[in-house]
A = this chain, B = another copy of it.
Amino acid sequence: MSSIESPSAGQGRLMASGQRRLRLYVTMGQRLLRDSLLFQILLHDEVELVGESETGVATLNRLKTATPSVLLIEENLQDNDGLTIAEHALAVNPSLSVLLISDTPVSNGRMAIYLEAGIKAVVSKDQPVQELIKTLFYIRNGQVYVGNWQQEPAPAAMLAYQALSGREREVAQLMASRLPVRDIAGRLGVSCKTVHSYKDRIFVKLGFERLPELILFMQRHQHGAAE
């Protein structure tokens, strides 16, 4: 298979954030989480998956050839713990950015240990996916990300909703209920194009990329409000 030389021009309309491709290696035991996370992550076209494995040992073996720039690794693996593996990996390649996924929220003490070890960020499994992805992109060029992994339980969502204008909320509502754009336009008495404009604005304001995010957001918002 002849390798594909990456065209000098970026492939998105504009390759906005940071440098070049994010070369990702993922180490997670359970397929379900790994798969669904990867589907999520691979939606971003600056990510290139260079490898994945279930165990720490397999990871160390493959890292030599896979040359990732970011390693996403679970804390608890079958054969080892992620911290140990990460340390080994960092010993070989200190410029690797490691993002650790912990099973539980991280205490300040543990966080300090991780940072000491050269890990760039820690995300717990109790955090939203977007948090993971945001962190992933954040650390991609070597920055350390000490997230707000303690604060803001939900208010962020509320604030985001407040930021929507009246018309935007109507559209968000209707879109979240899966009413087709066509019908939304009809119902509001405006053109499809206008609805699309609202959609764009909503997505920008909330930082979303696809419909499921909006649906989930709206669902949770109503719930948070209703109870």
Residues of B within 8 A of A125 (CB): 30-33
CA A147 to CA B7, docked complex, whole Å? 44
Contact across chains for B212 and A4 when beta carbons are under 8 A apart: no
A51: interface (CB < 8 Å): yes
Give the number of times this chain occurs in the complex, counting copies.
Answer: 2
Closest-by-CB residue of B relative to A101 is: B32
Contact across chains for A127 and B42 when beta carbons are under 8 A apart: no
Residues of chain A touching chain B, judged by Cβ–Cβ distance below 8 Å, are 1, 4, 7, 11, 30-33, 35-43, 45, 48-49, 51-52, 101, 103, 123-130, 132, 173-174, 177-180, 183, 210-213, 215-216, 219, 222-223
Residues of B within 8 A of A126 (CB): 30-32
29 example contacts (A-B, Cβ-Cβ < 8 A) are as follows A1-B222, A4-B173, A7-B179, A7-B183, A11-B180, A30-B125, A30-B126, A31-B126, A31-B128, A32-B33, A32-B125, A32-B132, A33-B36, A35-B129, A35-B130, A35-B216, A36-B36, A36-B39, A36-B40, A38-B216, A40-B212, A42-B215, A43-B211, A45-B178, A48-B178, A49-B215, A49-B216, A49-B219, A51-B223
Contact across chains for A39 and B129 when beta carbons are under 8 A apart: yes
CA A129 to CA B31, docked complex, whole Å? 8
Contact across chains for B127 and A39 when beta carbons are under 8 A apart: no
Residues of B within 8 A of A180 (CB): 11
Q: Tell whether A4 pairs with B177 under 8 Å between CB atoms, given A42-B216, A49-B215.
A: yes
Residues of B within 8 A of A216 (CB): 35, 38-39, 42, 49
